[in-house]
Structure formats: structure tokens, C-alpha cells
Amino acid sequence: MTNNSICRKVFLAVDLGAGSGRVMAANFDGAKIALEEVSRWASAPVKIGGAFHWDADAIFKEITSGIKKARAIYGGAIESVGIDSWAVDYGLLDSAGNLLNKPFIYRDTRTDGMMEKVFAKVPKAEIYKKTGIQFLFFNTLYQIEAEILYGKNIQNAKSFLMMPDLFAYMLTGEKFNERTNASSTQFYNPFKREWDFEILEKIGAPSEIFKNGFAECGDVVGKLRAGLKEELGDMKVVAVASHDTASAVAATPSQSDNPAYINSGTWSLPGVELKAPLASDAAFKENFTNEVGAENTIRFLKNVTGMWLVQKSKEAWAKEGRDTDYKTLEAAAAQSEAMRTIIDPDAPDFVMPENMPRAIANYCSARNIPVPQDQGQLFRAIQESIALKYAYVFKTIEDITGVKPDSINVMGGGSKDAFLNQFTADATGKTVLAGPTESTALGNAIMQMKASGDISDLRQGRALIAASVSPKIFSPNKANRQIWDAAYEKFYSGKNPDLKAEFQRKAIRMLKFRRAAEN
């Protein structure tokens, strides 16, 4: 652990994922930030009466346990704590401020059929025009529709809090909604910077539960409750970019006015940062999302399948006794023929196959595409295909927004994938800057540093991250330009009908599987 004597300040980033949570310590020495993991835990769902819920009390206990452990390590150097989490889920509080029930998990089946019921009340185009949010069956809007139709809690509720705001309330007793997570609900209006009460009224939601007010990134929202202060010590609680992707994008080490990024992992989020939302007909047709980012920027992005295909292929090979590490796969792929096999990584065929390599082979056979004959060919096919899909998304972004970035920042676990990073540079023709890997915790920390006065704004925070973490640079290989352009023309010019299906249909199928798989 870091020696406390050289730590000027420590900022605790509570980073909650759908499968696990952790407390990270961001050590700031006046010039750079260094991260250390304090605690980590699994967040398993609980099943009650056939429905899946989050055990909020158990998660909160882990949060306070992690803070207590950090206090024992860093003592009085701890400045504040901030919480980020996944999107769309929420808690409902009664008049006494108690949870009416354990919060539902977004992947619970209660949202089945809710999109159609909402569209019968509010036209789909109207929802997009007002919110700019992509249509995903588990969005909070459809969860609230399910509450209205099947539950009684919403009639008894007095307050609505998104998950990170719920845990901040449990720490401080203060009720608020932070904008980045609020924007994921599909009933937040980024143009008016307010809940869209017209949509809520049309679906029959009680508007009074949405009157807590909004917190801005970098706001000090309170201090620990008296009982917790005695146990954990005195510290401020800060509203960070509480949507975990918003925190990750906040950590983009770029000084561009419209940084381009890929939050890369099993699933990837390629996009650009805009100054204002864009809910045009073209954005609606392509189902892009306009989620609020730090300092009221807009994350204009898409969901794209990432390393899911490789992970599931490795699982299948391991079951066959042919487990292979990534370095071996990369070496084999490097010796394989370029552009031999190109697939659509978002095809429904790859959503829930029993055997991923077999599913890819069947997909190729049905379309007269060369079938990969070994692990190296398959690995290369997946990586090249993902890179081409990134190129398609960024080309579409340029067409819709007019923003033409010359570089892409790749963050998250996928930033360590040098093979894919190089292919991404080659496919897009843009320089790829890979890193930081721990982007969410860093983005969380810099918004706390804004509250403490150590930085003045997001741009300065990004400069600090750039000084603390050196990204790896991947430049486009000009010698390969022709082969990548030819592949793009073949598969994304509209000439191949199998790769022309709309993203929305694919995304819905993929995300339904994600819900089933996580159960």
C-alpha cells in the first residue's frame, strides 16, 4: 500500500458493477494520481417471489466495510467518497425514507412487453425526440410501466432515487438525483435539463416522487450520517458522474473538444462527446443514445459486441481440452490470412450459442463466407470484424454529427488488447490511444477533486489523468489502407444484405441474452 506520509489526499471511488463492487483509493500527490484497490466483493442477485432484486442493504454493508478498511490504511488523508454504478435501476422510498422493497434488477423479466405498452401511450418517435436515448427493453421507463401495471409500491412511494443516489442517501440522508445516471432512464429531457413530466404523466407515473432535485458532478452533497461518522470518520460525499460509463468517459485523457472513445470490454461503447444532445431523424433511425456526461456533456454512442465472441470461443475450446492463452492466439492470428473471414459481430447468431466457434462456422457456411479452419483464423476473423464494426459506427457518427476526430481513446479492460487496438487504428484510419484501464475509478476521482478544489474542471482533470497514465499509441498502417477499405466497402456499403439489418433488432436480442446470462 501507499505510504501515507507521501499521500497529500486520498479520494475513495466506490465503483459498483452489475456483478461486483469495489472501493478504490485514488492517491493524489499534487502532480499525479495513483490507484489502489481497497476492497472488492460479488453482488449476487436475490430471488424473491420469482423476481430478481438487488440486496441494497448487503451492498451498502460492503461499501461501508470498504470505507472503514480505507480509513485504517489512509487515516486522515481521505478527503471524500463518490459512488458510481450501472444505469437504469432505482429504489423507491416511503414517507419515512425507507426502501419499499429491494430494488428490482434491470434483467428481471417484468419488463417483457413493456416497450409496446409504453409506445401505445407515447409514440416512439416522441420519446426519442424528447430524451435522445436508445431503445433498450430494460430502460427505467419500461420498469416504471411495470411498476404501474403490476405493483403497489409506486402508489406508496414518496421518493425515486437511482442506485448510486440511493447509496449516497444511505450514507448522508440527503436525497438527490445525479444527472448522468438520470439521463439513462429515458424520461430525462437533456434539452430542458429536467425530468420529462409529459412522458411520465402519459404513462401514469406519480410526478411527485421525482421532485428531489438534481446534483451536478463535483457537488458536495453531504457528510456521513452521525452514526456512520463515528464508525468511519468524517468525510464529504461528492456527486460524481455516477453512471459508470460517464465516469469512464470523463477519464478520457484527451483535450479535444469532441473526444472519440471506445469503452472496451466484453461489450463495447464507441462514441464521441458532444456539447449538446442530438436527437435527429438520422440518430433515431440508427438508435444512437445521448447520455449525459460529466459537466453536462453528451455521450453520443452505440452498443457494440466486443470481446464476447473471443471469450465464448475460449470457453468452448477449454471444454474440448484446447484451452489457449491470448498470446498464443495472437501469434497464430498474425500468421493467418488477412480479411479471409469477415462476420457481423452483432449478428443474432452469436447472441446465445451453445458453442461459439460452431456458431461462427455455421454463420459463414450459410453465407458462403470462408469458414475459419483453426484457432488463429477464428481469432483473427473476430478481431478484424469487431474493428470493422467500430469503423462503421464512427463513420455513421461522422455522418450524423459532423464530428471527425483524428484519434480514438480506448479505455477499460479492452485497452490491453494490442491486436484489436492495431486493427481498430487500421480499420478507422485513426490513431488509437489505449488506456487507462481503470478509467471508471479515475473519472470518479477527478470529479471529487473538482469538489475539493484540486482541479477546476473536466479538462484539467483529463490533463491530470494524461500526466498520470501514459497510453499506448497505435498508428494506422498506411500499407494496409487498401485492404481495409475494400473490406469495409464489401461489408458495410449496403451490398451485403446479411450485414445490413438494423442495429436495434440485434441490440434487443443481445441484451435479452445478457440478462439471461447474468442470471
pLDDT at 500 over 50: no
Q: What pTM does this model have?
A: 0.88
Distance, in Å, from the CA atom of 412 to the CA atom of 440, rounded to the nearest integer, reads 8
Q: Both 41 and 8 in a single domain?
A: yes
pLDDT of residue 48: 93
The pLDDT assigned to 7 comes to 52
Average pLDDT over the chain reads: 92
Whole-Å CA distances, 483 to 239, 339, 340, 389, 427: 47, 8, 11, 15, 9
Pair 259, 137 in one domain: no
Q: Are 72 and 121 found together in one domain? A: yes
pLDDT digits (tens, 9 = 90+) for 212-232: 999 999 999 999 999 999 999
Per-residue confidence (pLDDT) for residue 351, from 0 to 100: 75
In this structure, the answer to whether residues 95 and 117 fall within a common structural domain is yes
The verdict on 148 and 46 lying in the same domain is yes
Whether residues 87 and 168 share a domain: the answer is yes
Distance CA 146, CA 78 (A): 42
Q: Residue 399's pLDDT is what?
A: 97
> Distance between CA atoms of 460 and 345, rounded to whole angstroms?
37
CATH number for the domain that contains residue 251 = 3.30.420.40
Residue that finishes a domain, picked among 239, 268, 287: 239
SS3 1: coil
Query: Quick check: is 494 in a domain?
Result: no
According to the model, what pLDDT value does residue 24 have?
Answer: 98
* 193 and 283 assigned to the same domain: no
Query: Which of 239, 260, 283 finishes a domain?
Result: 239
- Residue 286: what pLDDT? 92
Average pLDDT over residues 330-355: 92
What gap in Å lies between CA 508 and CA 66, rounded to an integer?
36
Examine residue 227 and state whether it is found in any structural domain, yes or no. Answer: yes
- Is 397 part of a structural domain of the chain? yes
**Residue % of the chain over a pLDDT of 70:** 94
Asked if residue 331 belongs to a domain, the reply is no
Cα distances (Å, whole numbers) of residue 346 to 225, 317, 319, 352, 505: 47, 21, 24, 12, 10
What's the domain count of the chain?
Answer: 2
pLDDT 10s digits, 246-281: 999 999 999 999 999 999 988 899 999 999 999 999
Q: Are residues 258 and 273 in the same domain?
A: yes
Residues 219 and 280 in one domain: no
Instruction: Indicate whether 484 belongs to any domain.
Output: no
The pLDDT tens digits for 92-117 are 999 999 999 999 999 899 999 999 99
* Domain membership of residue 471 as a residue range: 244-305+391-477
Model pLDDT, residue 518: 46
What is the C-alpha separation between 265 and 246, in angstroms, rounded? 15
In terms of domains, do 298 and 220 share one? no
Q: Of residues 278 and 6, which shows the higher confidence score?
A: 278
Distance CA 240, CA 368 (A): 50
Catalytic residues: 244
487 located within any domain: no
Considering the domain architecture, whether residues 192 and 258 belong to the same structural domain is answered as: no
Residues 107 and 249 in one domain: no
Residue 336 lies in a domain: no
Indicate whether 366 pLDDT > 70.
yes
pLDDT given for residue 494 in this prediction:
60
Q: What's the rounded mean pLDDT across residues 390-407?
A: 96
pLDDT (average), residues 380-387: 97
Please check whether residue 102 lies inside any domain of the structure. Answer: yes
